[in-house]
Structure 1
Amino acid sequence: MYPDPAYIKALFKKHANGSITPGETAELIAFLQQGDQEALLPLPDELEDLPAPAMDTAATARVFQQLSVITAPAPSPVRRRTLIRRIAAVSAAAAAVAAAVILLYHPAQPKPLLAAVSTGYGSMKTVTLPDGTVVTLNANSMLQYDSAGWQPGAREVWVNGQAFFDVAPDAAGKFMVHAGDQLTVQVLGTRFHVAARPKGIQVVLNSGKVKINSNAQTLVLQPGEMASYRPGDGELSRQNADTLQLTSWKDNQKVFRDVPLKEIADFIEEQFGAEVTFDAPQLSQLQFTGTTPANDLDVLLNILTKSLDIRIDKHNNQVMIMLAR
């Protein structure tokens, strides 16, 4: 089934302006990997309004190499030339598309990232890193690391979204996790959770010890504690944490304990890409306690309906929560 060309164009535009989510990035990667999709790529005149990142000759050459790999496993020379000519027809548009494709696999970071793992909405993945560290990625998340430069004393990963780490001990060096652009988590051997979302960053420690750095602020967490960072004021704070509730998703469950529907609506948006609205303001303050599947929106909504005095209408990616009649 072919995707909607308008939707693909929108994903390219969101990637170019930096507003794309990890879940949408995963969709764009999947589209590019399908092959035989040149007809659905945005036309040059459709991309004229995209920002045109500065790209040198080497970068342009790299993107054409990437395109020849990810758009078809074994493309014919004629088809490859056709695809390249189409993308290169307008220089500014070509730069935008090229930059988008390059950044899917090599995002701008302090060092080249040669491996990236993404999850779409409503899905999870488990990744084993070269040192044996096991990472569980929640939905709408991305993990990046330098597989070529991975070695004792140089273990670094970058996370956008939610990930649970079971870090392999290494006496020769530490393990560094970069959460968004604001926090760095320094680890020895431990189990912890990182959530790096636009609204804020959380680090929850299950066992071991972690040191968290943000600008001039530093915190050392003990098991059962959580660090929170608010982008608005740049404040890094420490709280006691309900580790079961905050990390239950890694076992494909979501535990809620006296959680307002407003926070559950935020979870639904991040986890499933659905927009939640309330037809009465007081509904957002209703509290729910229970356990639901982490990756099944329909079951979650059904449980909420039966547990609270509400009705829920779901249509595509729109969810309306209403007072029961």
Structure 2
Amino acid sequence: MSEIEEKSIRFVLKNYKHGVFDTRKAFHEWKNKHDIHTRKRHIGYYWSGVAASLLLCIGTYLYWNMREDDAWMRIAAAGNVMEYMLPDSTFVTLSPHSSLKYRPEVFRKEQREVVMTGKAYFRVHRDAAHPFSVTGQYAVAKVLGTSFQIDETLSDSATEVYVSSGKVLFAAKGENDGVVLTKNMQASLIRGERQPHIVAPQTPNPAAWAAGKFVYEETPLPDVLEELSDYYHVKLTATNADKTLSAEFETDDGVDVIVSLLEESLGVKIEKE
């Protein structure tokens, strides 16, 4: 069985509805066609992938930029996405050319605060006694335990925060009041303004680059294809696009596998340019 076939079964099963991507049905059809009976092999591949990812993170961590001076620990990503775990077990994913710093001596003991530039995704370890805060160029985000993205790369004058889970207080620097964001909410702060304003996410999965997966819940097929087109740098169009999709799959499944399953399960023809 080829690698592309193995990747195609990494879907979380969803309830089937008319006109919605039935991943359970797609999985069984794929399994029957290709006689997939290799669970042990998949487990081996999974742990091999984990080991490879860990080595890549360690290599990036050591090679690019991690130094402690002036009481600050600094971490920077160069041309690749970088993953790093803070002392409190908070997991950070830095986009290329982004950085963060924190003070190890006081981190968690007195406060959990990091300063960042660029774009980063945080999976914050919950600690009610020590709220977690991220300070960017113009804004501050404060949480207890959640997953969220803060992005200052869209322009030189705005900061955007998107929340995947939990609750985040998003405010301008020096301001006590802000907006409270919960799951799937996004807000933007324009430089010079004192209050962020809530905006609609431009795609169903703004943090897919860091979370490593797409999650769709009765999402219109045109919106899905638009997001996949942007992510994989292709142009996808479909016939009979008046359908919705409920599915979850990994970004590294690849556009060809995803398109193939969409066509087979939804009964559509998707063109790729």
- The normalised TM-score by structure 2 is 0.50
* Structure 1 residue 128 corresponds to structure 2 residue 85: yes
CA distance in 1, matches of 2:72, 2:220: 40
> Would the aligned equivalents of 1:205 and 1:222 in 2 still touch at CA under 8 Å?
no
2:214 to 246, 254, 274: 254
CA distance in 2, matches of 1:262, 1:206: 21
Instruction: Name the aligned partner's letter for residue 261 of structure 2.
Output: I
1:185 to 137, 141, 144: 141
Q: Classify 1:150/1:292 alpha carbon distance in 2 versus 1 (closer, same or farther; 3 Å).
A: same
Runs (4+) off by over 6 Å: 232-235, 244-251, 282-286
Q: Classify 1:228/1:268 alpha carbon distance in 2 versus 1 (closer, same or farther; 3 Å).
A: farther
* Structure 1 residue 292 corresponds to structure 2 residue 249: yes
CA distance in 1, matches of 2:259, 2:126: 38
Instruction: Name the aligned partner's letter for residue 90 of structure 2.
Output: V
> Would the aligned equivalents of 1:278 and 1:284 in 2 still touch at CA under 8 Å?
no
Deviations 1:268-316 (A, max 9, x none): 545xxx4233579x99997543222132223333334433623343xxx
RMSD: 4.9
Q: How does 1:89-238 map to 2 (within 5 A)?
A: 105=65, 114-117=74-77, 120=80, 125=83, 127-130=84-87, 132-137=88-93, 142=98, 144-146=100-102, 151=107, 152-153=110-111, 155-158=113-116, 160-169=118-127, 171=129, 174-178=131-135, 181-187=137-143, 189-196=144-151, 198=154, 201-204=160-163, 206-207=165-166, 209-214=167-172, 218-221=177-180, 223-224=182-183, 226-229=185-188, 236-238=196-198
1:295 aligned counterpart, secondary structure: helix
Name stretches of at least 5 consecutive residues in structure 1 with no aligned partner: 1-29, 35-68, 71-103, 314-319, 321-325
Q: Which residue of 1 aligns with 2:233?
A: 275
> Would the aligned equivalents of 2:76 and 2:97 in 1 still touch at CA under 8 Å?
no
Q: Classify 1:262/1:254 alpha carbon distance in 2 versus 1 (closer, same or farther; 3 Å).
A: closer
CA distance in 2, matches of 1:311, 1:287: 15
- The normalised TM-score by structure 1 is 0.44
Higher helix proportion, which one? 1
CA distance in 2, matches of 1:255, 1:289: 8
> How many residues of Structure 1 are paired with residues of Structure 2 in the alignment?
198
2:127 aligned counterpart, secondary structure: coil
Larger Rg: 1
Q: Which residue of 1 aligns with 2:260?
A: 302
Q: Classify 1:119/1:233 alpha carbon distance in 2 versus 1 (closer, same or farther; 3 Å).
A: same
Deviations 1:143-167 (A, max 9, x none): 5223556532362142644513223
Instruction: Name the aligned partner's letter for residue 190 of structure 1.
Output: G
Deviations 1:25-66 (A, max 9, x none): xxxxx9xx89xxxxxxxxxxxxxxxxxxxxxxxxxxxxxxxx
Name stretches of at least 5 consecutive residues in structure 2 with no aligned partner: 1-55
Q: Which residue of 1 aligns with 2:270?
A: 311
CA distance in 2, matches of 1:284, 1:230: 35
